[in-house]
Structure 1
């Protein structure tokens, strides 16, 4: 018995190994087989559309995260000023050493950076240590390497280094924006193909119904 079914999108030359909805080629009529193939094509396009929507949403989320990070970078960069502007972030007036134990924080990141980051986010090193850790975590979430992450977390990052982080973040955001535009073009094309494929299926079933109704009418 030869069947054509949903397990493969292969051509008719290999129908003995294909099975679309378990249709039996020995008994199914041409119209039914054609409708099954067209329906399978519509299902495949539907799957592609669903994946494309997920890709678009993923890039939207990533871009939103980068935009949030850009705001954080601008905030941290604004802290550099006065006589200490060329020093480290931790030395700026905003991060008053009296607010937390600077040396204890640095030592913690030297001994066990991952644990120090977790402790800092939990407030172990005061509000300043927590702010630095949360900013560092946002860098990690957006793909920055551990060296940069921990340099920010312990406050040793300089204005020039932070500016480099900003440049990299802007480049990532620009690349995502470009990809996002291409994603939307693909999404629109798939939506059009989906509409067309289901229109074909609908018309095929309508023709099948009309044809069978005509046969029944002629038999009366």
Structure 2
């Protein structure tokens, strides 16, 4: 039995039995299989790009939530200043409008970090939030912001390469589809010509 694997020898693509086919049908089947393979690869690449976009969005949300907290510190406070000493109006004054707003900002930050899959209690980020948000220093927030920014930049660079690959794969898929379409048209024209000559 003569079989042909999908293009590039990719595993998981169905094999084609050519033993019982004429040449035209065999070529058509091989080209159709190639289009299917490229479609699958293109869809996988699109899914990867979408997943990376989602992760970048979550990291940006996390960074924005930290920037909001860093912006609460009174001007001139150095990196060793904790939030409780940051000159923040009504800090830890329960029931005040400002305190309620700070609590909402804190909770938004916790959620954004969790959604982004980040544990900011690690030495990598130095934001020891388990000790209470009041003890978190301006410097540790700035360190965490920079760490997230670095991660976003790395993902963005990878995303640019992914988009180039996606464009290349899309072009290959379109070329394969055009070849298959042209082949079908030539087969139809050839058969029409033969039938016309028989009349």
TM-score of the aligned structures, taking structure 1 as reference length: 0.71
Q: What does the per-residue CA deviation read over 1:18-76, in whole Å, with 9 as the maximum and x for residues that have no partner?
A: 643xx6622x2101110111011011111111111111122222222222322222211
The one of 157, 173, 197 aligned to 1:178: 157
- Gap regions ≥5 residues in structure 2: none
Q: 1:164 matched to which residue of 2?
A: 143
- Cα RMSD of the aligned pairs, angstroms, is 3.0
Structure 2 residue 179 is matched with structure 1 residue 200: yes
Residues 1:81 and 1:75: Cα distance change in structure 2 (over 3 Å): same
Structure 2 residue 35 is matched with structure 1 residue 38: no
Q: For the Cα contact (< 8 Å) 1:99–1:128, is it kept in 2?
A: no
Once residues 83 and 164 of structure 2 are traced to their aligned partners in structure 1, the CA distance between those partners, rounded to angstroms, is 43
Once residues 129 and 65 of structure 1 are traced to their aligned partners in structure 2, the CA distance between those partners, rounded to angstroms, is 20
TM-score of the aligned structures, taking structure 2 as reference length: 0.78
The one of 6, 22, 28 aligned to 1:9: 6
Q: Which has the higher helix share?
A: 1
Q: For the Cα contact (< 8 Å) 1:132–1:152, is it kept in 2?
A: no
The one of 82, 89, 109 aligned to 2:83: 89
Moved over 4 A (4+): 2-5, 82-85
- Gap regions ≥5 residues in structure 1: 13-17, 101-124
Q: For the Cα contact (< 8 Å) 1:140–1:146, is it kept in 2?
A: no
